[in-house]
Structure 1
Amino acid sequence: MTSSNRVLVVDDDPDILLAFTDILELEGHEVMTARGASAALALLKQEPRPAVILLDLVMPGMDGWALRDQLLTSAELASIPVVVVSAQGVSAREASSRQLAGVLRKPVDLEQLLATVARHAPTGRDPLTRFA
């Protein structure tokens, strides 16, 4: 079971976790954060699951690609859309083979972030009206 507006943010940088939490909560999302892949896996065992995962690639221990590969092996977790948020480039081949729902490049454009999350975790608000 997923919660329709819940977002899981996975990043090892506490400042990014805080910034994404503040921005997404202002838009009406319920936000879960994990400071690494292992913490994310622990959170994903709980119900309700997130509607979308924002995933950094470069993290100590298990990196984002390893986490995504693990998610794809689980029937319950493979269907959760994953959007990579990274300063690293991601090729179209990588995105396709890992079944990514999107890729956002750091530093993240706020409008792109909100629009991408709204596609997978709608709150009933127009994410772009804040900037009009």
Structure 2
Amino acid sequence: MKNSKKILIIDDDNKNIFALTAVLKAKKYNCISATSAEKGFKIMSQNNDIGIVLMDMMMPEMDGYEAIKKMKSNPEQKDLPVVAITAQAMTGDKEKCLKAGADGYVSKPVNVDELVKLLDQLMK
């Protein structure tokens, strides 16, 4: 594996999880996933080998903006890098994600090379 730490993908759409996992595994990354922010928090609390979170920004119940704010206010998760993954690619959306606490931003459809470059920068 490229990195001993895992990538946690949080997305309410299983097709997105499947696609991201497939391309990242092909690039030798180890991925786990959750279909909601709450499930993601549970996984984070049970695993200390998560190196980065890929967070879908548009989810029911708790969206990515709320989830990132909650993570960044938790002493155990505040230093864990988060990449916002969103279909929202309008002017100001990237800034909104970064202002919410995301460490990086990738719009859908995901440019795999751009994502891998970001992962390599953030997963140290």
Q: Same fold by TM-score, threshold 0.5 exceeded?
A: yes
Q: Segments of 4+ in structure 1 off by > 6 A?
A: none
CA distance in 2, matches of 1:32, 1:91: 25
Aligned 8 A contact 2:98 2:104 in 1: no
Aligned length: 119
> 2:112 pairs with 110, 113, 120, which one?
110
1:18 aligns with 2:8: no
Task: Extract unaligned runs of 5+ from structure 2.
Answer: none
CA distance in 2, matches of 1:69, 1:110: 26
Question: Which residue of structure 1 lines up, in the alignment, with residue 83 of structure 2?
Answer: 83
1:13-65 deviation digits (Å, cap 9, x = unpaired): 11110111111112221111010111101101012241111111111111111
What is the TM-score normalised by the length of structure 1?
Answer: 0.81
1:33 aligns with 2:28: no
How far apart are residue 110 of structure 1 and its match? 1.5
Q: Which has the larger radius of gyration?
A: 1
Q: RMSD of the alignment, in Å?
A: 1.7
CA distance in 2, matches of 1:64, 1:96: 11
**Equivalent residue runs for 1:1-132 within 5 Å:** 4-89=4-89, 90-92=93-95, 94-121=96-123
CA distance in 2, matches of 1:4, 1:120: 14
What is the TM-score normalised by the length of structure 2?
Answer: 0.86
